[in-house]
Structure 1
């Protein structure tokens, strides 16, 4: 496969989009951002912004003509949009599609059966179908939870509020990756198109446990006042499934529970034992570097 230089980015705002955009620009790619017509966001002068109708195949296909790769960070729940993007990218002869994956290991059979990942699996199947026809290729990027963001918003642990949920006791090892590193992983995929063709790649900044992070949190903020709650994953899943059985289930009451199970439950593949860091040019963080990150986020 020839080298990739022109990259379209769908979803350049939000939590992950800006980090990927920054890394693409730093690496010298020619970037086109797809924006909604209602968008008021501004981008660097080197970025080409094209307003699209995400519900129109023609609009998306026209916008993607001439692009060699498409990276999507759109919400995984926007299934109709994602599938239309796959179809449009194929019609526009885009070489590589990196879908809005970035997170739990949805290649793991136990993880992919959780309802919250159903839409991601549907998109994966659509990409496999396109790849089988000999046209567009794809790469799935599994990163584990967003490490820096997860501590900033209290998802992994709440540094400001000095609290953490120790799922199943907090001893289970899991992989995690910061937003900038996920952006660098995208670069690694695009600069190694043959080695990353039609498969998942795994990236991690660190492998750790919730207990280990709790100790780092205490070191950063002082041990006094910390609240550590032991939460059984079985209870988390039970609550999630019970909510889904209701006539009008509230996503706020089941989505996060399923995600928590996929990261900190047993057998969900959240510890990447054979990451692709070396291929992607990613160096893992040392314990001292992780502590430094925790310290900076605690301020």
Structure 2
């Protein structure tokens, strides 16, 4: 059973999600936070954040960096799975209590999701963590939070704000669990505050439940008099093209998992209460959408 967590390491603090997790760790005021940085990294971090320069290809370097740490949070890119696997090995060797791998998205325990090739690197990390947990070397938590709501608006994916256009998968009516980047950071803090309740399992959080059509209608409501266009794309067509060329159309797999039937994108239950996440009201959803219009 995991005891209290104080010393926390973040690997991948400068990507899309890392800064939000780092911010919430600092706001919690309960953790000593260390960021792992590559030797060639140009990024710097202000006090009280500690930094340790590591070689992500060296087990010795990583083990030394993780010595005395209670938890490791990884947001390392899925394009370099070997780095995360080595980080897990180092965490186990260094005596780290809890490891949160690069998940932060779909319910990867869903049987249909596991049939698609796009998240194989996540499955490799899960398998290794389960092995280490069975050996009593460490514990883990997988965080499922659905697509990033605010980030999806920012990059013109959820709706294309720039071109006033929306893609509605299978008509866009399926409900989906979305999370704000800040709420994902809060969920991580919640995991660290509740190590026993979150040990060796997947936790589910959501900031709001919306369909692509819902967000499209909200955007139109907030831009009266402006012309928006929509395009219906069938999920099966996404899958067909992705299967024909998995590398070129990897994003089609991800969109199918998010918008398709039976992939678990609408969480049947969640851990919001345990982890301190409050769902947005419709008025608050509109405020988020409005920021990007």
SS in structure 1 opposite 2:251?
Answer: helix
Aligned to 1:194: 196
Quick one: distance in 2 between partners of 1:17 and 1:272?
23
Q: Which runs of 5+ in 2 are unaligned?
A: none
Aligned to 2:13: 12
Aligned to 2:227: 225
SS in structure 1 opposite 2:222?
Answer: helix
Distance 1:223 1:165, change over 3 A: farther
Aligned to 2:251: 256
Aligned to 1:284: 279
Post-superposition shift, 1:267? 0.3
- Once the two structures are superposed, what CA deviation does each residue of 1:23-44 show, in whole Å capped at 9, x if it has no partner? 0011121001000110111112
- Once the two structures are superposed, what CA deviation does each residue of 1:263-296 show, in whole Å capped at 9, x if it has no partner? 0000000001201100101010011110111011
Does the 8 A contact of 1:53 with 1:60 survive in 2?
yes
Q: Which runs of 5+ in 1 are unaligned?
A: 245-250
The alignment's TM-score, normalised by the length of structure 1, stands at: 0.96
The 5 A counterparts of 1:52-201 are 52-201=54-203
Aligned to 1:44: 46
Quick one: distance in 2 between partners of 1:262 and 1:275?
19
- Once the two structures are superposed, what CA deviation does each residue of 1:150-186 show, in whole Å capped at 9, x if it has no partner? 1100121111221111001001010000110000000
Structure 1 runs (4+) greater than 6 angstroms displaced = none
Quick one: distance in 1 between partners of 2:108 and 2:78?
12
Aligned to 1:25: 26
SS in structure 1 opposite 2:245?
Answer: helix
SS in structure 2 opposite 1:117?
Answer: helix
SS in structure 1 opposite 2:283?
Answer: helix
- Once the two structures are superposed, what CA deviation does each residue of 1:27-73 show, in whole Å capped at 9, x if it has no partner? 12100100011011111210111110000000000000010000000
Does the 8 A contact of 1:159 with 1:221 survive in 2?
no
Quick one: distance in 2 between partners of 1:78 and 1:32?
21
The alignment's TM-score, normalised by the length of structure 2, stands at: 0.98
Post-superposition shift, 1:223? 5.2
